[in-house]
Every structure is written in structure tokens, then in C-alpha cells.
Amino acid sequence: TDLLSKVDQTIKDIKGTAEVRKAMDAFYEAEKTGDITLYDKAAEALEAVVVKNPKHEDADKMLWNAAISYEKAGKFASALRVSQKIIDEYSQSEFMGDALDKLADNAFHAFEYDKALTNYQLLADEPRFKDSPHRKPAVQNVALILENQQKYKDSAKYWKKYSEMESDQKMSMAAQWNAARAYEKGKMWSNVVSEMTAFDKRFAGNGDAADECVEANWAIAEAYKKQGKKKDYEKALAAVIGRYNS
């Protein structure tokens, strides 16, 4: 009985390995030819193999290839369903970041902002994704969604984080400016003063930021006025004139 059981298991293993190889070969053929029909067949084969062999060492890879195949076959709902399965059942997968990004982007474009925010924040905040290519755009999207939801304090935090990550100076400048303006929209006047001051200090002398530096000093003056700090307000007004003439 033990021998028959071992033989039966060996046959199942061989059959399983053959099915995996056949499904992966179908995917590679679809990638090589770009044939939509082949992508559709490959996706179904890959998913079917994982259903039969959920603990296979390449199960997550097969699911991700299935998601890619479904997407290229125009079956977007199936691609998202498989991506969600990676998140739900293979949380340690190397494709976790890709799956989160796909779901977040889809939710964002479908105006499902709370759902998009949840997945973008995982990519933006979790240490495991610090080197992911999805990290920086996720931080930017979190900042944008939070600002649109009028959660200005949290939005400013992510705009500043994005500014620090961005190597392009103009985009970095725009992000820090967005952070400062978020505090202004939220009427957090002391934060406006500190953030606008930081912006002016960082970008003073940068021709691309000349107008923003004038606006920053004006915002500082207005923030002092809102706080009833008359002397600081008058001093800030003089700084506006000085920045305008510089």
C-alpha cells in the first residue's frame, strides 16, 4: 500500500510538473508572438495550474504571468482578480508590489480613491517596498488623493516625502510647493510659515522658482496676519518687496 501510494504521488508530481511547463511555455510563446488568443489560453492554463498546485514554488510567478496575459488579452477584470489573489494568498511574493500597483492604478482611474489610497499607502510606507520602482509614484499619488480629500496635513507630509525622493529639481520644487500650499489650504498658519520659509530658503536664486519665492513670502506675511502677529506681518511684507526686487 505504501509503495502504491508513493508511485501514485510520483505520477501526480510528474503530471503537475508537465502541466506547469506546458502553461509556462504557452505564456512564453504568447510573449514571443504577441498573439491575443495565445495570451488568453496561457492565462487560463497558468491559473488552472495554480488552482491544482497552490503551494508550488512558482505559484506566485505563474499568477503574475496570468495577470499579464489576461491584461494583454483584454480581460482586465480577470487580471485584477488574479492580482488580488497574489495579495491575499502570496503576501511574501516578489510580485506583491506589482500586484498592489496594478490594483491601485485601476482603482484610481475608476475613481475609487479610498481603495486606491489603501494600496498606494502600502507601497509608499512599508519598508519592504523601499526599493520598488512603484514607491515614488505611489507617494505622489497618496499626496494627491489626500489633498483632494482635503486631508491637508497628511497630504503635506507625502508631498514633502516625494520632494525628497525626486531627483528632477523642477518636480522636487513643485512637490515642496504643494506641501506648503496644502498647509495654507488647511489654514495651519504656523506650518505655512515654516514650510514657506523652507521653500524660499531652498529655492532662492533659482530662476525657475522666482515667482513662487515671491508668493511664498506673501503667504508668510498673510499667515502672520491671520495669527495677529502685526510686527512679524510688517517684517514679512518688507521681505516680499525685497524678494520681488531681487
**How far is the C-alpha of 50 from the C-alpha of 15, rounded, in Å?**
13
Q: What is the pLDDT of residue 239?
A: 87
End-to-end CA distance of the chain: 92
Q: What is the pLDDT of residue 230?
A: 93
Q: What is the pLDDT of residue 148?
A: 96
CB distance 188 to 204 below 8 Å: no
**How far is the C-alpha of 32 from the C-alpha of 25, rounded, in Å?**
10
CB distance 153 to 188 below 8 Å: yes
Residue with cell 524660499: 200
CB distance 116 to 153 below 8 Å: no
Residues of the chain with confidence (pLDDT) below 50: 1, 3-15
Ramachandran region of residue 166, left (φ > 0), alpha (ψ -120 to 50) or beta?
beta
- Residue 80 has a CB neighbour count (10 Å cut-off) of 18
Q: What is the pLDDT of residue 16?
A: 52
Q: What is the pLDDT of residue 246?
A: 67
According to DSSP, residue 175 is labeled H
Q: What is the pLDDT of residue 189?
A: 96
